[in-house]
Amino acid sequence: MALRWFLLLRLIGSILFLVDVTHSAARDARKAYIVYMGDKPKNGMPVTPDLHVNILRDIVDSSINKDIAHEALLLHSYKRSFHGFAAMLTEQEAQKLAGMDGVVSVFPSTKVSVKTTTSWNFVGFPESIGSGPFESDIIIGVLDSGIWPELDSFNDVGFGPPPKKWKGICQGNNNFTCNNKIIGARYYKDSAFEEEDIQSPRDSSGHGTHCASIAAGNAVSNASINGLGLGTARGAVPSARIAVYKICWDKGCGVAEFLAAIDDAIADGVDIISASTGGAAPADFLNDGFAIGAFHATVNGILVSMAAGNEGPQKKTVENIAPWQLSVAATTTNRQFITKVKLGNGKIYQGLSVHIHDLQGKFYPLIYGGDAPSKEDGKGDDSRFCVGDSLDADKIKGKIVLCDRPDKDGKGAGDGAKWWNASMGVILTGKQVVEETEYADNPCAASYVNLEDNSNIYKYINKTR
């Protein structure tokens, strides 16, 4: 009996020790926080990284964390245009900082996502308007995933030297150079930076290049996607200069890096800031890094244009809602890319898609996705929606597949699924034919039809089995 009690006490002690260690590990877990301290000091006191390191020394208990190098905890010092810093802190340390004199707010640096040839004509800004000589003095700071400087949209033919007000740098290296169009570039590494990321202002995803060309890309004639949408691609202000601030990497965009870029962009002398990024808007602007950065830019006479988000039209889906942020959302367009579906009985249904696969007017057998489930992954309704690898590649080989609309959980035809390459085409379905083009990168012919047309095509399949 005594031995049993001894073992029980040992077990309880081990559990308590494990709980204490687990609690301690959670308590000491560090993550990126932003410490916002308002405007730059009015008394002329210099703001340096050393000042912020000293604050960290006062906050971080070295008796408990003996091996911590306080300098390594500091991620960014905001010192050129406003005051604050970003650092790796525990929750307890963040709470201590929030109670210090001179600290306005302390909040986590979250990760957010990026948001995204006839648009300018459509909104009443045709190329025929022309441009004035002052436009080449406008500097647009693009905070995004970088830029691909060799594209025709960014060549500097006809551009003179950068405006005298420009105080920025070109943080390039062997694989990146600036010119008189792209007059400056910086990049901001964060905790999510990985070795495979391009460690320079060069774009690794294409989003930043796309957004920069929309804002200030040169006019490029004969632009198209494999012949679709042929025309002249140009930015809103083709004569403007571009300053690149790379804050987005493969894992997303850090709010701490956004603030670091804003701090630099204001001091560099940009006139406009374009940032197609965003996340869920906090209830308090003092805990919203995007609102804080945009505020300081606005106070300095800089217009800040940001994305209103990719969600909606439900309530509370708009992002970047501070009164001093110009939030831009998607709207209608003046054209569609039509991909017609013609059945063997001669009936034609009109769908939407952007693809480059020409079936040469030939007819191919139709098959419903729900009739071709794979043995391994075709469970439940997955094959109806053509989810992932739910279709049997042998059953659909050489055929055109009809897929139902995505279900309430958003399940729909999977990217990179094995069956894509086996089929000759796919007919996808939505609640209505949307105005935006869908499924632009399919490895086979595709068309996006509405529910009524889906039902008629399904009936045709059943009649002709």
More confident residue, 445 or 61: 445
Residue 443 has pLDDT above 80, yes or no: no
CATH for 113-328 is: 3.40.50.200
Contact (Cβ atoms closer than 8 angstroms) between residue 125 and residue 341: no
Looking at residue 441, its pLDDT comes to 57
What tokens appear for 254 in the block? 């850090």
DSSP helix/strand/coil, 356: coil
Give, as one character, the DSSP assignment of residue 390.
Answer: -
d(CA 128, CA 144): 30
pLDDT category, 339, cuts 50, 70, 90?
Answer: confident
Residue 14 has pLDDT above 60, yes or no: no
Q: Tell me the pTM.
A: 0.76
Residue 426 has pLDDT above 80, yes or no: no
Q: Which amino acid is at 55?
A: I
Nearest CA to 325 among 282, 279, 274, 284?
A: 274
Contact (Cβ atoms closer than 8 angstroms) between residue 293 and residue 266: no
Contact (Cβ atoms closer than 8 angstroms) between residue 423 and residue 396: yes
What tokens appear for 47 in the block? 């703001």
Nearest CA to 186 among 205, 204, 199?
A: 199
Nearest CA to 248 among 261, 236, 235?
A: 261
d(CA 370, CA 454): 13
What tokens appear for 242 in the block? 């571009």
What tokens appear for 236 in the block? 């809103």
Contact (Cβ atoms closer than 8 angstroms) between residue 99 and residue 281: no
Scanning 217-277, the segments in alpha helix (DSSP H) are 255-268
% pLDDT > 70, the chain: 77
pLDDT category, 360, cuts 50, 70, 90?
Answer: confident
Bond into 443 cis (ω within 30): no
Residue 1 has pLDDT above 60, yes or no: no
The string of pLDDT tens digits covering residues 171-198 is 987 689 999 999 999 999 875 566 778 8
338-463: CATH topology: Glucose Oxidase; domain 1 (3.50.30)
% pLDDT > 90, the chain: 42
Looking at residue 300, its pLDDT comes to 96
Domain ranges of the chain: 22-108, 113-328, 338-463
Q: Kindly state the average pLDDT of the residues 209-232.
A: 82
Contact (Cβ atoms closer than 8 angstroms) between residue 273 and residue 242: no
Q: Which residue has the tokens 């040469």?
A: 360
Residue 276 has pLDDT above 70, yes or no: yes
d(CA 22, CA 30): 14
Q: Kindly state the average pLDDT of the residues 223-249.
A: 85
Q: Kindly state the average pLDDT of the residues 381-393.
A: 83
Scanning 145-254, the segments in alpha helix (DSSP H) are 207-216
User: Which range has the top average pLDDT, 245-259, 263-277, 297-311, 379-393?
Assistant: 263-277
Domain 22-108: homologous superfamily in CATH: Peptidase S8 propeptide/proteinase inhibitor I9 (3.30.70.80)
CB burial class (10 A; 0-12, 13-18, 19+) of residue 174?
exposed
d(CA 247, CA 245): 6
- Those residues whose C-beta lies under 8 Å from the C-beta of residue 359, and which sit 6 or more positions away, are 424, 425, 445
DSSP result, 12-76 = HHHHHHHHHHHHHHHHH--EEEEEE--SPPTT-PPP-HHHHHHHHHHHS-TTT-TT--HHHHEEE
Kindly report which listed range (97-111, 154-168, 273-287, 429-443) carries the lowest average pLDDT score. Answer: 429-443
d(CA 80, CA 404): 55
Give Cα 292 distance to the centre of its chain. 20
